[in-house]
Structure 1
């Protein structure tokens, strides 16, 4: 039978029927193999040459198939093959150059029936027809007028020619005659070591830079690492050589189907997957998103158990894993390596309750963290420790490192917040300090001339917590770190240098290594702590203070006066958290006309007192954060006073007990006409307690400078 003819026999037939020399025929066979590359064998090439030359190899009558065959009936050199099966696997499209320079394309599918599986190969226009069907794994398929030939491994394949047809999900097929569709794809949690021919569908959660290497024989190779995840876990996948090229267009978040992988236990104790020359990768855009369960499977160790607290990261040149709060992100920098390749680097700082540490991200890892991720949680698996530029140790994240960034609710974040030093405990014996507090004073930027006649900038601020207050200095470019701060802001300062006490108390210096950021809600500060308002000897010009009798409606003024009376009326007002409008209370529920009910309104203090400076009286309206700072009383505490005493006026007893009446204040604000009282009213935007020692110093300084 023709199906048993050897290469020599077919060459003899071609030579006999065409009078062509055998050497010339062999050259045509070699040319065809060069044209089609790895997609055709020598025996397949001679069949194609014979067909192109019009040589009929059916002198021994071929098996003519008039009906549908089962896969186990297929042998080489069948024509007019009709076949029905179910799509078991879809392989990637491959492009190649034909001998004449034109472009060729090939794609194949693996189909199965109840008797076995077979590869079906599509060429050129047939590839387009296949893709136009939008077929998917599990679909029934009918092949009409195909032909069989030997594949690369000498197994029987079905190829489609010009007269061939394909039908996807055709009518008239009894689905029960086909094998039931069962997913061949493994769930990641079920993968074990030393398995072959594994297939999975997963979401790309990490993509390393491609790694180039040199083999022992001097040849070059490359590897591309991806982390794939599904709802059961994550696993590292290594794509080697040409398979590394196949995943270059795959990005983070893409869902891919990968078949014919092998598993083994890697050097780090985790299961890994590796590609082979038979591995196939397909991007699946038509699948629903996968919610990935974080964490590598198969390591035998709980990921959480591997995470070190920051203060336990002490050993250099070692692999470590940790988890912390991102408190600072520096800009990305690009650079050129010695071999001419481009690199990227970004450094960040993270904290937990035990300390802070600098983390350096390299190349692809730089894209995983941006400034928008400050106050998010970062997990680092297999970072590498090195000596730092500004510290004894830092973490570097390269190809072998796994980095994950996630948001976290405020109730769970406390474990990652640094245990700050109380200001009263900062001493000049310390090299650096981490503090948290409220900005109580912020000086203007000053230009200072050095001994070298260089003009540099200086700015000071004062921060206080429940234990004390401290002066902080910023020089040169470091003043940009406090450029967005305002008095009353709650801030965190990391790595502030401690200055030696020169007679003015211990001070801090903001250095290049320091970090200044707006604070999260930190339980290290009592919830009801309100900063007292410090008097700045440079901020108040006593000559600009006006007498009450001289002020008029519309004036922006400052007065120095004594509190002589409190106006007893509602002290705390519940506001809607959404629109900030006043809410009505009914049966322990607060109602907003726009946003409905809530049991947790936003409380706001608003109270009025009468001030007298010896020339007259004026009503002063004080509200919001200013009221909380002046009174050293939070709005929530005032609201609890009202609730516990069942009286809207309960906070006034607190003010009287704390001698607010008879206190002397410097009050700045705008003068309005109160239509209800038919008198002037000062809307305060700044109130400072007069401390006579400071005021005297200020007066002396003004007199001296005059």
Structure 2
């Protein structure tokens, strides 16, 4: 079902009729009164549009990215590729195939595009900066974010002639740790590592990335026995920027970046945990920049920062310039001074009224600074989150009614299944 915002419905009515905005509002109010509040204002607007023959959704209409709504099918959009991710192959118990994704932007916004199976054949041709026209795509919503999916019936044209696009850049919001809120996405923080926990390793099916569970001496991913298991890993650390501290969760790619190690080198800590002690010591006091999303850990009633990107080599001067550019400028306040005059001292008769005795206030001992919590078991998360997207939320979604295709999360380009 497509839910069109009320403002968009009114705009469509005005565009396709001779009514003014006041006339449209009057008709909607009259319809609400007629139906005695049995419908919403949006519902009344839909009825008015239908009565006037106004088409709110036109199949095949060229749309701006801002106008795209979940549930739309057979749409046509054009945008510039502003970010390209990797092609992934997946193999689940239900099916196997290929998936690739990239971001397109126009002057109104941006959206993630997903290519499935045969559509990925053109993926190698796509470069950042290319202009892409997509026809017959369909829109799905995943965790509040819109995704543009292409299956076999969709068409993609790379660099169509005579088309130019001005893009709205995807922005990253810099925040203090004390300003983080649940649901923040694509947020950036600059903070110091003040506590590091040992990495935790998980047995997984190396072919699918699905968590493997040991039963009676054997490992299983679901009902499938895994003969040669692989390992995934997660690491927690605490960041502090002076305003607050927050637990930060790093998965495989970000751990490798922070430590400057390969996958094989990180896996050595599983066999020799004691060798990680020197690594932890070296990390303490390191200033890092993290881009990620904020999630509430319901098990421990706290906010956690899930790292999508982490940068260790920070240029202080560059960060100061960036902070100065983001700080709103204020007009200087002019301060005037007057010629100093000696105050006139008036003689006063001494006050002989008895004064109340003020009891001294006892000194209050300051409370000790709260300790950072010890390592706690982390609620199960994704095994292989993508390098620079949000973490895996759903690996394979319900089949699409029209296209009969499982819809995979845009975030799932590395881990195919979530346990």
**Range into which the TM-score falls when normalised by the shorter chain:** 0.3 to 0.5
Which structure's relative contact order is higher, taking Cα pairs within 8 Å and 6+ residues apart?
2
* TM-score of the pair, normalised by structure 1: 0.24
Instruction: Decide which structure has the larger Cα Rg and report it.
Output: 1
